[in-house]
Amino acid sequence: MASQLGCAACHGTDGDGGVGPKWAGMWGREVELSDDQYVTFDEQYVTRSVREPDAERQAGDWVRMPAFGPELLDDHDLTALIAYLRELGGDS
């Protein structure tokens, strides 16, 4: 899924990051946002990040991510993407 949608081009083929934030090892960790707030890298955060990327943008100089609404990424595929990110590891 991540490769088909082009996610890996920015987030890395193994989720190790690049022009976008890394995914590997992030599940359950605190993420600093561009507004100096912190959120947990979890299902809610990933869903918001995919659907409305600017709502909770990670701190750092990242290329702006496009929004992936249901017409581009349906809920079933979003759930599969979340499962993949969970498999990449982290605290929980």
Domain CATH code at residue 73: 1.10.760.10
pLDDT in tens, 43-63: 999 999 999 999 999 999 899
The pTM assigned to this predicted structure is: 0.89
Is 1 inside any structural domain?
no
Q: Decide if pLDDT at 92 tops 70.
A: no
How confident is residue 91, by pLDDT bands cut at 50, 70 and 90?
Answer: low
Is 46 inside any structural domain?
yes
Q: Range of 43's domain?
A: 26-87
Count of domains observed in the chain: 1
pLDDT in tens, 8-29: 899 998 889 999 999 999 999 9
Give the C-alpha separation, 29 to 26, whole Å. Answer: 5
Is 14 inside any structural domain?
no
Instruction: List helix spans (H) across 1-92.
Output: 7-11, 43-51, 75-87
